[in-house]
Structure 1
Amino acid sequence: MVDKQHTIIRKIIHIDMDAFYASVEQRDNPEYVGKPIAVGGSPEGRGGVVATASYEARKFGVRSAMPSKEALRLCPDLIFIRPRFAAYKETSSYIREIFSRYTDLIEPLSLDEAYLDVTNDKLGIGSALEIAEQIKKAIFDELQLTASAGVSINKFIAKIASDINKPNGLTFIGPSKVETFIENLPVEKFYGVGKVTAKKMQSLGLFKGADLKKLSESDMVRHFGKSGSFYFRIVRGIDNREVQPHRETKSVGAEDTFPYDLTTPDEMYQELSKIAETVANRLEKNELKGRTLTLKVKFSDFRQITRNHSFQSLIGDQQTILETAKSLLNNVDLQDKKIRLLGITLSRFDLVMQAPQVESEQLKLFDS
């Protein structure tokens, strides 16, 4: 049983659209229905990246964030489609309108994902599970799309629950089930635990929540730094974070560590082009533009520098991002230097549209 003395019990729903970009494309283009499609960059030339893949493509192992060339190798019949962000935004706005029928406490994480606090819902339904069912039905009936939902007492559990029965899933984890659920949860399934941290946990003999629960908070902090306190609370079902309709995102960026050191300007420009595309896509998806662009450069000896440029007006298009990053790089002394990492970050945002901000913990480019 959850320690109620330290836990705030809320009614939280996490909604995650199923293969959102790909599903919108299949809805709007009947010729794609039932076929393996990937929304993202073309595999031609140096190749792009898959933003999302239809479930038909996923059967072949095609996944979000996968290089398009690798995706094509796995699925030779894969159809590549350039993103249509205007269509996705329009659909996302409609989905948010459906959410707002039930609550004003909506925290979008991206165009296709959001938390809803329905502890006190507008219609007086009272049951978070019933509200989640109604939202899923409205999305399907009105938009011909499916969504998966997780329902629980806090954001952490609801987020994980929404991923359990994808696609078109609905998972409810009530207060009496939370602690058992977390104890049996593999550490790599914990939201916020990346591959590196998961491997470290496993190397320490920590494979499930029950293993984490054996550690004291000081042990957690010693092994995992500041995140240790968060893990300590989470394995006990304690997550008192509120659903925040207007979270502030301070920066959006992307970086890449290369399999080999870059030594020529052409190589550097080609890699900057891919990074600029990723940043532009993230900005577009989350309806953001910024005024300050920062270039990050890490050399082969691990020395790191940053250079930035501020604009009078808001920018967010790929071409401006790329040309600015190239200009900043040209002002770096590269004589006899080798580069192992490049990164681009945009900051000082204003909203392009009056939509709630995405969660700053994890700015999602690739949808599930």
Structure 2
Amino acid sequence: MWMVLLTVILLTGLIAAMLLYNRIRSAQAEAAFPPAGSFITVEGTRLHYIRKGEGTPVVLLHGGVLWANDFEQVVERAAACGYEAIAFDRPGYGYSERPPRTTPADQARLIHGALKQMGVEKPIIVGHSWSGLLALTYALHYPDDVSGVVTLAGAMYKEGYPAENGDPISRLATAPVVGTIFLNTVPGSPLGTALARSSVRQTFAPEPAPEGYREAALALWLRPGQFRANREDILAFPSAALEAGRRYREIRCPVVIVVGGEDPFGTREQAARLRRDIPHAELREIPHVAHMIPQLHPELALEAIDRARELSGAAAVKSISSETRGARCGEPRS
């Protein structure tokens, strides 16, 4: 009896110590990498975003690791080229809060609500990696409120997704009680740090990670809350992609698909499949480019955004022309 009680006391003390350690560590990380933008509250959830420039609105949604700053160079280039560029920290990442239920559809709804509050109308939605699904989900749920979609090394389908059949680490990290212990011990440990370094290398490979990215990943990605958000997204992806994938053919706005010829994550196959499902989409496979396009090749992202804007403008002109012809055809004869 006394041994059991002692074990419980020691375990409780260890958990309390790790919680305190991670709180201090998170505070240090946030001091080293503070928020660079503004905040907006939607449905009680506080979202952080970066907003620069004036002109055609473009919304930039990062993948499964860091935050809005993944698009820092794209934001700067877009703002200088006639765009109002808005990059969000997705719910649970960076400095955005995360509500208890946060599927891709939930994230799309929160971002849509934020844009409505901000007075942003019919943006081009850009999704990198995991957010390829999010960008397409947004277009499916709000077809009248989007002028185009760009996917950059996007993941869009359950089949071929690295965790299509589940992920043991994600299930452990999101489990009740045990997950809390795991999140407050393993990610911030030397083992977790080593695995994170390896993950960053693999994510950029065969290209090198830019200076400072690894440090930001070790500081922010390994925070318990953000690590859990990432693992929840991994688990939510297969079923959400399966549901959305059945409806991709319904998307009517311009779609530009960009993928690197050396991307190691199966995104080339997903890009080709999306092109078949959306016949009017344009597919661009770029030689000698891997997965992390926003960080290493912001010019390619901007070229795709330019093309989506061009196609959207052409579609609008065609629609107006058709309406005009219809009106003329309906005019009574003299």
TM over 0.5: no
Identify, as 1 or 2, the structure richer in helix: 2
- TM-score range for the pair, normalised by the shorter chain length: under 0.3
Identify, as 1 or 2, the structure richer in strand: 1
